[in-house]
């Protein structure tokens, strides 16, 4: 153990703390799944992860277990054991290690995932809220260049139902589209007996990426079925709600987006941050996964790769934000008042730090809100707006109003 190990761990812990905090603000409750799962749990799910990626263990009785390769599947299974139908909306989040063997030697087998599972009926409002939470979480961590790529699993599925390819060929086709390999895509499709207009449509998919409104106009020229038309309209509806969250500039439409988790059935998305070449979070709606366990449990969720986030935070371009709510700066005569306010706020679960005004310039602690307490007046500052307040009740109303606007 050396100083760098300690700093790395502290950064890891701060990242998880920030994520935990944001998930709770959207009403999610933390849960935990076992580290060892029965291999049969995953082998019975047709659309689960690649079985070659699982870490298998044989116990004394000869039964095969796996080290937790996924979290969505066991959560869905546990719910299905209790509810054949969704009783009401359920929101869960987790922070747990998963274990997978990647085909790339440099990839670690063990990694930490932090994610949410929102069991609810399909609606643009619910899907937009989960995507907004993903974006909000990345903002909390201090990233400034955030892109959420949004697509739909059904768009590609509609097209491949028009052609006759076996499973290995479909997987190769997915790989070419995911890599946006236009050069090899058309020659690959030409090997098969596929109508020319369908080939043109498939070759167009990787290029359907960018501003949602512009992509939608281009996509309308290649749409082949009523279902694809409905899918595109749904995505635009989700986008319009995301604009209400103030995320217009963070969303791009990617109709060539194909997630490697086979259980995603509807909206899918992945998040990118500055100067990091792969997604730091992935998610989507999985309405049919519960069917694998005999239950009707529509849901949407996403998972962050915590190690990827920590690495992205150490590129030097991101100001790591310590997750405190309120910083109090007080005048020479206002220490007692500062302590009283801090105590009241901490009783209400706010994270609070206080400093003398004279030391404000040397304090680099980041905060969401700032209070300035002096003999002249008390100031509440949120973003660039400053408002004076006279009492604790006034302050609490401002905090509640600001939280509602976030």
Place of tokens 């070449």: 277
> Do residues 314 and 342 lie in contact, with contact meaning Cβ atoms separated by under 8 Å?
no
Residues forming a β-bridge with 114: 95, 304
CA distance 288 to 299: 9
Output the pLDDT for position 403: 61
Q: Helix, strand, or coil here: 338?
A: helix
Q: Structure tokens of 38?
A: 């029965």
Q: Which of 274, 273, 275, 238 has the alpha carbon at shortest distance from 253?
A: 238
Q: Where are the alpha helices (DSSP H) in 92-208?
A: 124-140, 153-160, 167-178, 182-190, 196-204
> Do residues 272 and 279 lie in contact, with contact meaning Cβ atoms separated by under 8 Å?
yes
CA distance 60 to 199: 53
Output the pLDDT for position 201: 87
3-state secondary structure 222-251: CCCCHHHHHHHHHHHHHHHHHHHCCCHHHE
> Do residues 202 and 185 lie in contact, with contact meaning Cβ atoms separated by under 8 Å?
yes
Place of tokens 């058309």: 186
CA distance 200 to 14: 48
CA distance 238 to 131: 9
Note down pLDDT in tens along the chain; length 406 residues: 566 777 778 888 889 999 998 998 889 999 999 988 888 888 777 666 777 788 888 888 888 888 988 899 999 999 999 999 999 899 999 999 999 887 666 677 889 999 999 999 999 999 999 999 999 999 999 898 999 999 999 888 888 888 888 888 988 898 888 888 888 999 999 998 888 888 988 888 888 999 999 999 988 888 778 999 999 999 999 999 999 989 999 999 999 888 767 788 999 999 999 888 899 999 999 999 999 999 999 999 999 999 999 999 876 555 555 557 888 999 989 988 988 898 888 888 787 888 888 776 656 567 889 999 999 999 999 888 899 999 999 999 998 887 655 5
Q: Which of 308, 246, 244, 300 has the alpha carbon at shortest distance from 271?
A: 308
Q: Which helix (H) or strand (E) holds 394?
A: helix 392-405
- DSSP track, 25-66: HTT-EE----SEEEHHHHHT-TTS--GGGSEEEE-TTS-EEE
Measured CA distances, 65 to 35, 41, 100, 146 (Å): 10, 9, 14, 38
Residues forming a β-bridge with 67: 36, 55
Rounded to the nearest 5 percent, the helix, strand and coil shares of the chain are 45, 20, 35
Under DSSP, the state recorded for 330 is E
Output the pLDDT for position 386: 92
CA distance 93 to 299: 13
């Amino acid at each position: 153990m050396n100083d760098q190990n300690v700093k790395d761990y502290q950064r890891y812990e701060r990242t998880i703390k920030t994520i935990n905090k944001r998930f709770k603000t959207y009403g999610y409750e933390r849960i935990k799944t076992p580290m060892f799962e029965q291999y049969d749990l995953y082998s019975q799910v047709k659309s689960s992860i690649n079985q070659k990626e699982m870490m298998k263990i044989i116990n004394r009785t000869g039964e095969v277990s796996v080290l937790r390769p996924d979290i969505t599947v066991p959560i869905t299974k546990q719910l299905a054991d209790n509810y054949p139908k969704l009783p009401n909306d359920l929101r869960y989040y987790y922070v747990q290690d998963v274990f997978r063997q990647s085909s790339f030697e440099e990839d670690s087998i063990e990694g930490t995932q932090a994610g949410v599972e929102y069991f609810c009926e399909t609606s643009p409002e619910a899907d937009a809220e989960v995507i907004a939470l993903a974006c909000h979480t990345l903002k909390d961590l201090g990233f400034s260049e955030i892109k959420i790529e949004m697509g739909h699993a059904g768009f590609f599925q509609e097209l491949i139902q028009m052609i006759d390819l076996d499973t290995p060929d479909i997987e190769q086709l997915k790989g070419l589209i995911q890599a946006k390999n236009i050069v090899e895509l058309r020659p690959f499709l030409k090997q098969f007996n596929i109508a020319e207009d369908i080939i043109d449509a498939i070759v167009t998919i990787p290029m359907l990426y960018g501003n949602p409104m512009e992509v939608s106009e281009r996509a309308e020229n290649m749409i082949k079925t009523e279902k694809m038309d409905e899918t595109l309209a749904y995505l635009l509806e989700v986008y319009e709600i995301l604009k209400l969250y103030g995320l217009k500039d963070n969303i791009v439409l990617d109709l060539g987006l194909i997630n490697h988790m086979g259980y995603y059935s509807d909206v899918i998305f992945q998040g990118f941050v500055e100067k990091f070449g792969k997604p730091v979070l992935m998610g989507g709606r999985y309405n049919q996964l519960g069917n694998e366990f005999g239950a009707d449990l529509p849901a949407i969720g996403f998972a962050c790769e915590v190690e990827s986030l920590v690495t992205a935070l150490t590129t030097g371009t991101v100001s790591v934000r310590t997750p405190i709510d309120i910083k109090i700066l007080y005048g020479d005569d206002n220490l007692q008042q500062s302590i009283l306010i801090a105590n009241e706020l901490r009783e209400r679960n706010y994270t609070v730090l206080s400093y003398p005004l004279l030391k404000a310039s040397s304090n680099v602690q980041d905060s969401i809100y700032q209070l300035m307490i002096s003999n002249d007046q008390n100031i509440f500052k949120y973003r660039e707006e400053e408002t004076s307040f006279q009492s604790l009740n006034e302050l609490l109303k401002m905090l509640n109003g600001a939280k509602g606007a976030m």
